[in-house]
Structure 1
Amino acid sequence: MNDTAAIVREIAPTGRLRVALNHGNVVLVRRNPTSGEAEGITVDLARALAARLGIDLTFVEFERAGDVADSADANIWDICFLAVDPLRAKQIAFTEPYIVIEGCYLVPQASAAVTAGDVDRLGLRIGVVQGSAYALHLSRAAQGAQIIPFAHFDEAANALAEGKLDGLAGVRQAMDRQAARTPGHRLLEPPFMSIRQAMGVVAGRPRGAEFAHAFINEMRVNGFVADAAKRHRIEGVTLP
């Protein structure tokens, strides 16, 4: 762990830390409306890691989590910030989670569903963004519900508006925002899953993965994550 040069060679073989950002998760990263630059808790963590390693960093920006995960073996990024999932873990070595987000359903007010459990009981058609953590989870866990993937969230939202879906699934903050945009919708409680967000290192870099694991644990314990969450006004999450 003290051989920083060796760790840098493994975790960032190009000499720059290439950081994959998932703009599909507005809780953790967003574009500044004035400058267009990425900002958020994942950006802060990435900058802190690069500073710890003593190297520059480059952001590799994606619009969907699935695209980040699918490019793990393409040698275009070194670390990422994604939800932990067993399928992704085949290609990505994850740290412990630094923040936990809730996955919730959004349905029309007139829906017969009262709780999240009713989604399966009623066999509802639920739209998800393909490759997202909640889509991967629901594809395994659904027992009656029809999980219908879409390339982008707006496509799923349009399908719901057209009556082609019975509901949407997503992170609570995105579902709250959609409910505010489209009156006549409500969230179902309780959440259908806890989404554990972690830093990930490309698989096959054990020293780098160990360093990232220790780094995230330190950032959790020393208050860095809590301070960043407060600074970026992140609400409705759990800090492990």
Structure 2
Amino acid sequence: MMDKFREAEIKYKELKEKRDKNEITKDEFITELQKLMIKDEDGKLWALGVSSGKWHYYDGNKWIPQDPPYSTQKNIICPYCGFENPENSIFCIKCERSLKKVSITCPRCGKELPEGSESCPYCGYTFEKEREGTEEIELRIRSVSVFSFSLFCGGFGLVIGIILGALIGVFNSFLSFDFLPDFINSTRGHFMGSILFGLGGAITGFFSLWLFGIVISLFTNLILFLFGSPKFKFSKERG
């Protein structure tokens, strides 16, 4: 029942605007207004005044000005169009925009900001306006993944180890490995030597740089934890 009164008020405003713009005549306005009459649950007949737009109910003899039943409830005023909406409404009946308050938080400290703020009053972060034709991108290094970085280093060491090991195995005069058993050194300069030394180089290169990656990533994370993460800004042309 409450929605019918609201819908009638919206329709009245639309009809009044059309009448003021001479899109409809006065008689057409009154005819359409008669269609907006509402009978409530108690059998009362309600109508909007032609000139005032106020609600009236018919007592059997005359029209008496009075607010309809919904007036006793707490209304929510739409911040966009100013229309009064029923309590617990989520969207405005007239403009259909959301009635819920949208909070803006600081991207740096996460605290809620006052409406219209150009800078954060808590951490001092400034909201820079976007430059025409460009987009500013901010890159912040907060931590280094130990697993990913060490695996990357190990993979790099694997490739380098295979190449160097194969070269050592193919060229007999390239470096000296007297500490290795004779049956392994005897393969140098042959195809089998490139395979054996390439395999050894792969294993040595992988584990060496894998351990190196673990140490570097742990040290980097310690530095970031103690001194904070660095921030880099880039400007990107808008497409």
Q: Which structure has the larger Rg?
A: 2
More helix by percentage: 2
1 or 2, which has the higher strand percentage? 1
> Normalising by structure 1, what TM-score?
0.17
TM-score (norm 2): 0.17
